[in-house]
Structure 1
Amino acid sequence: MSGTDELPHDAYTERTDLLLGADVTAGLRDRHVFIAGLGGVGSYAAEAVARAGVGRMTLVDHDVVAPSNLNRQLVALRSTVQHPKTDVMAERIRDIDPGIAVTVRREFLNPDTVAELIPEDADYVLDAIDSIACKAALVAGAQARGVRVISAMGAGGRIDPRAVRVGPLDGTRVCPLARQMRKRLRRLDARLDYPVVFSIENPSKGTEHRPVDGPLGGRPRSVNGTISYLPALFGLTAAGEVIRSLIDR
């Protein structure tokens, strides 16, 4: 057995303890974060939440790693292509800390049932879903149950990390996805004052049109180009907001 195999499960929290205090870090072990979507945003968010020391996580994604994911997704390596994203992410988290209780749900997200996936004891919902209908349904469901929620808006079509912001959905500008989310949430009688990560950079328009994945299908949609660091920055920012909120609570 190597030295790393013999590490206590909390050995990696030393620097976090120095920053936050061991009692605060210990409190994070009792928190449960639900993350929907493990693409370029969600995968980085999930790992940041795990490395901060949150003790319970539920990860939801129906997809497998594709070659096109290699430019931006933490779960995407040549060795993981065609592997379920939930499995790859869960394995990474357990390799960081096997003491974290990780639940994976590999299923296609449906607007009619997505909110039902939120665990009863969830402390925070992190929405990194691509589908606007599912994003809105998840947010509305979390709000109805009194669970805090944060969403990532559009990271595609942008290259400027200095333009990333955090603020209420009803205070966003420029972002087309945020505009559509406001419309959807109004129809669901949901609040628009919850936090989102967004960019004030004008996005480049998509240049490809592909059919929507999954059993619900639909008409082809525009696909924006992406760069390696922007989705990661969105995910890390969202994770930071989650951790700060859990600490403040």
Structure 2
Amino acid sequence: MSSPFERTISLIGDFNYKKIQDSSVIVFGIGGVGSYSAESLVRAGLGSITLVDYDIIDITNINRQVHATTKTIGLPKVKVMKDRLLEINPNLNIRIYEEKVSLDNIDIFQIDKYNYIIDAIDMVSSKICLIEKAKMLGVNIISSMGAGNKLDPTRFRVDDIFNTKVCPLAKIIRHELKKRNIDNLKVVYSDEIPLKVNLGDNDKRKAIPGSISYVPPVVGMIITAEVIKDIINS
């Protein structure tokens, strides 16, 4: 009988596939970046995954988040994503947390038990909390920088946070990490200058980063590729 992962095994071999199958990843932030990264990891054969997000699906998520449809509006992102991933692989070991990451709850996630951490969180305070804990425990982590207000997916790349430029979020994170004496962090970022559209002085949309269907998924896929590469090379 054919396996859902037959083509993956043909590409990387049984030994490397077993490495992926035996690995566990925790994904923080199940939005435009995190939802696609989580799904592509499972489609690559990851055996164990944990999803963390406190938010529910909103109609405005439909343009860029894999779990967002007219039928899932109002439902918790992690619960919808769990059901979707189990439809892809019913044997998947999956755990979910409906939580917002903070100093008060970071220990409940037991991040030292995972082979890899994916940070796809939007909130700066939560990102810093997670990154600092991961660095303290010596756990592999890759962090997504800003995917909003960008149109060119080819400008995203993997690099160290201290080599980044242009990205406003990366600048903030660099500053916060320096204050904590953290001198390295693997990130995915874009050097595209963020787009600015004149919506008028009183338009409330000015405070919300714009997005389009194809950019956050590309960031998520780049993250997955880096995680899979590191697992295979470990």
Compute the displacement of 1:189 (Å).
2.3
Aligned with residue 201 of structure 1, among 192, 205, 216 = 192
> Which residue of structure 2 aligns with residue 33 of structure 1?
25
Query: 1:47-126 maps to which residues of 2 (within 5 A)?
Result: 47-114=39-106, 116-126=108-118
Matched AA of 1:203? P
| TM-aligned CA deviation for residue 115 of structure 1 | 5.4
SS of 2:113's partner is coil
TM-score by length of 2: 0.93
Please say if residues 118 and 142 of structure 1, whose CA atoms lie closer than 8 Å, have aligned partners that are also in contact: no
Of the three residues 98, 106, 123, the one matched with 1:131 is: 123
Q: CA deviation at 1:169?
A: 0.4
Contact 2:131/2:141 (8 A) holds in 1? yes
Pairing 1:176–2:135 present: no
In structure 2, the gaps of 5 or more residues are: none
Aligned to 1:165: 157
Q: 1: distance between equivalents of 2:143 and 2:163?
A: 14
Could you give the per-residue CA deviations for residues 89-139 of structure 1, whole angstroms, max 9, x where no partner exists? 111111111111000001122244335424342000000000011111101
Structure 2 CA distance for partners of 1:185 and 1:126, relative to 1, 3 Å: same
- 2:229 corresponds to: 244
Cα distance in 2, alignment partners of residues 85 and 63 from structure 1: 6
Cα deviations across residues 37-75 of structure 1 (Å, max 9, x unaligned)? 000000000001111111111100001100000100001
Say which SS state the counterpart of residue 155 (structure 1) adopts.
coil
> Aligned partner of 1:93: which letter?
L
Instruction: Identify if the C-alpha distance between structure 1 residues 72 and 233 changes in structure 2 by more than 3 Å, giving closer, same or farther.
Output: same
> Could you tell me which amino acid in structure 2 is paired with residue 33 of structure 1?
V
The 3-state SS of whatever aligns with 1:182 is helix
How many pairs were matched up?
230
Q: Secondary structure at the match of 1:224?
A: coil
Extract unaligned runs of 5+ from structure 1: 1-6, 211-220
Of 134-143 and 200-209, more deviation after overlay is shown by 200-209
